[in-house]
Amino acid sequence: MSASDQVDVADAAALLAAASDVTLLAHVNPDADALGSALALGLALQRRGATVRVSFGYPAEIPASLRSLDSAGLFVPATDVPPRSDLLVALDTGSVDRLGPLGDRVAAAPVSLVVDHHVSNTRYGSHNLVDDRAEATAVIVARLLDALAVEIDEPIARCLYAGVATDTVSFRFAKPETHRLAARLLEAGVDGAALIRGLMDSHPFAWLGMLAAVLGAARLEPDAAQGLGFVHAIVRQTDSAGVRSEEVESVIDVVRSTAEAEVAAVLKETPTGDWTVSLRAVGRLDVRSVAVRFGGGGHRLAAGFTGRGTADEVIAGIRDALATAPAAT
Ligand code: 5GP
Ligand code: MN
């Protein structure tokens, strides 16, 4: 797709306004920004009279911590997504492979709209609304809702707030205009404290034991990452048995707080023995470049990829890539 397929908010809103049957897709293993963006836009289009459905490639259900976002029951499992719909919208998904088994729906749709904030976005839609300066895809969706003149009521606001809060790490990386958006969402009735606690601050007791085992075996390499420090931890299948994906995904947020390390990595073992890898940087090194080297992607300071081989081999690969990683600026 060429750069001419880039559309502005008004063009994208016109496409959305004209569609009567819309499939909205988030990336596989969706986070609050991907799913919240899809549900917020889905709710708005449903109010305008369209038939809508929201899905993602896997898992087959909405993760427990995100279930409260789907107040209208818009979610359908990937197996129930029709082969073709008038308009296909992919949200927070930088490349078509991140749609997993639903990637084929993009080419099958007569019109496809990609709404995203990843700098690496490959512009795989027939129309692409990509703004890599937006801190969250939900910020772009809020602009679309304003262009559509849809009232942002509490159920829609809840979805947007969840996306913005997650991608800005509880507003830490939010620009002033994004704080203004958050204020609007709170004024629409969102209970921010309760929503954030449910999304990222509440775990079953078993989480404590899992964290103790995983963090107890974490390793710090002060000389790695160009002398800026590299910390890593491994979540094996035996550690994650009995806890939800939310507990596993939370580990990186603890590991990344290590003061001696610019870069943090968490390797999460999959049932097939591969590794889902989360990378974070504080602000000096670009970890997206590391993820891209192994077929992944993301943002400069938060990226990921799927690694193969032993955990030691994957860590060695990251260590090598960090030695020549570009600066984050
Ligand atoms: P997380 O570590 O929270 O799963 O992901 C951090 C960032 O990297 C997110 O923006 C996410 O979309 C991106 N990311 C994670 N895994 C992959 C991957 O396998 N491929 C690509 N392209 N991006 C990924
Ligand atoms: Mn996002």
10-22 pLDDT, tens digit each: 999 999 999 999 9
Provide, rounded to the nearest whole percent, the portion of the chain with pLDDT above 70: 99
Atom of ligand 1 nearest to the CA of 296: 20
Q: Closest ligand to 122 CA? A: 1
d(CA 190, CA 131): 26
61 Cα to the center of ligand 1, angstroms: 20
pLDDT band at 4 (very low <50, low <70, confident <90, very high): very low
Query: With a 6 A CB cut-off, is 298 part of the ligand 1 pocket?
Result: yes
Query: With a 6 A CB cut-off, is 296 part of the ligand 1 pocket?
Result: yes
Task: Look at residues 44, 21, 297, 3 and name the one whose alpha carbon lies nearest to residue 128.
Answer: 3
246-295, pLDDT tens digit by residue? 999 999 999 999 999 999 999 999 999 999 999 999 999 999 999 999 99
- Whether the pLDDT of residue 207 is over 90: the answer is yes
What strands lie across the sheet with 51-55, from one edge to the other?
51-55, 21-25, 87-91, 111-116, 127-130
d(CA 212, CA 300): 29
Q: Closest ligand to 297 CA? A: 1
50-89, pLDDT tens digit by residue? 999 999 999 999 999 999 999 999 999 999 999 999 999 9
On the 0-12 / 13-18 / 19+ scale of CB atoms within 10 A, 151 is exposed
Q: Encoding tokens for residue 5?
A: 């397929």
Per-residue model confidence (pLDDT) at position 53: 98
**What is the 3 state secondary structure string of 176-231?**
HHHHHHHHHHHHCCCCHHHHHHHHHCCCCCHHHHHHHHHHHCCEEECCCCCCCCEE
Q: What is the DSSP letter of 27?
A: P
Per-residue model confidence (pLDDT) at position 329: 84
d(CA 113, CA 106): 9
d(CA 85, CA 65): 29
Per-residue model confidence (pLDDT) at position 290: 98
Neighbour tally for 295: CB within 10 Å: 11
Closest CA to ligand 1's atom 14: 304
Q: What is the DSSP letter of 326?
A: P
Q: For each of the domains in the chain, give its residue range(s) and CATH number, in order of start.
A: 3-200 (3.90.1640.10), 206-322 (3.10.310.30)
